[in-house]
Amino acid sequence: MYKEGDEVEGYRVMAELGQGAASVVYLVNDPRTKEVWALKHVHRGDAKDTRFLDQAIFEYEVAAKFDHPAIRKIPKIIKRKEKLIRLTDVFLVMELLDGRALDVRPPKTFEDAATIFLQTASAMAHMHQRGYAHADMKPNNILVCPGPQSKIIDLGQSCPLGTVKQRIQGTPDYIAPEQVHRRPITEKTDIYNLGATMYWTMTMRNIPTAMPRNSDSLMSRIDDSLMEKPRPAIELNPRIPAKLNELIMECVEIDAAKRPPSMQYIIDRLELILGVLRAKNNESSGERSSLAK
């Protein structure tokens, strides 16, 4: 653990921002350039911590493939070795963001929500164009900064499109059926994850998925034919614009073939929805429609 004023790999610690399972994130500045960054430090305490080092390295390598304003930038990695052999520490120099996760600070208006969804979909389309799926979209992986400006902040489960993972990875409340049953991860997987995220944001309720809540047992997986279809979001929150409700429900179709064909299709639909919302706001003297029921 470092304290204010300490120098770490050429950066000066200003404050601690948070802690994870095997990591600490610091607010630091670069004395040479005066730039301010978030510095994630992952330390290998014992052999079981090696996976956390590997995850940090993977996160950097994946982030380096993208260049989109709604994906957090990680411009530099620093590796520290013991006796030049054993990797003991990894430092990620990350874009400093002034925001809160979507699940901590949900949008207050439909216009802000549609803006956040649109920016996130645009970032994921960029990932798809580069040949990658995000594979774990959920509210706490979207940081909302002033504007609002969304930022995807976790690429830890990203993978090349078409990947069949060796084990089930994903978050039960947002996981797609194909992730649970270890089928190829595709663009349609991200569409489902994003749809589940939009559903929660609009209703504060999670959809039923193929892996029931609070269960990590492989025996509890639900076959596609037995999965419960989620109630239309508009039934839980009647204020949701009808076109937005339609899009969300299309995204969370159990059968991937029935979901929207691409993330670009979702972008186009969200742009239309956002345009209608803004027009209505202008007609009502700028008063924006609240998400509250």
| SS3 (DSSP) at 202 | helix
Domain assignment of residue 106, yes or no: yes
Last residue of a domain, one of 61, 94, 127: 94
The secondary structure of residue 204, as a DSSP letter, is: S
Number of Cβ atoms within 10 Å of the Cβ of 209: 26
Q: Do residue 53 and residue 172 come from a single domain?
A: no
Q: Do residue 118 and residue 79 come from a single domain?
A: no
Q: What is the pLDDT of residues 131-145, one digit of tens each?
A: 999 999 999 999 999
| SS3 (DSSP) at 196 | helix
Both structure tokens of 111: 């216009």
Last residue of a domain, one of 70, 94, 118: 94
Does pLDDT of 215 surpass 60? no
Indicate if the alpha-carbon torsion angle 252, 139, 107, 271 is positive or negative.
negative
Q: Which residues contact 210 (CB under 8 A, 6 or more apart)?
A: 175, 176, 177, 180, 181, 221, 222, 223, 224, 227
pLDDT greater at residue 23 or residue 93: 93
Domain assignment of residue 238, yes or no: yes
Q: Do residue 17 and residue 117 come from a single domain?
A: no
Last residue of a domain, one of 94, 118, 134: 94
Q: Which domain holds residue 22?
A: 7-94
The mean per-residue pLDDT over the stretch 34-55 comes to 89
Q: Do residue 277 and residue 149 come from a single domain?
A: yes
Domain count, the chain: 2
Q: Do residue 124 and residue 169 come from a single domain?
A: yes
Q: Output the domain CATH number for residue 200.
A: 1.10.510.10
* C-alpha closest to that of 164 among 183, 186, 191, 192: 183
Q: What is the pLDDT of residues 66-99, one digit of tens each?
A: 999 999 999 999 999 987 788 999 999 999 999 9
Q: Do residue 163 and residue 190 come from a single domain?
A: yes
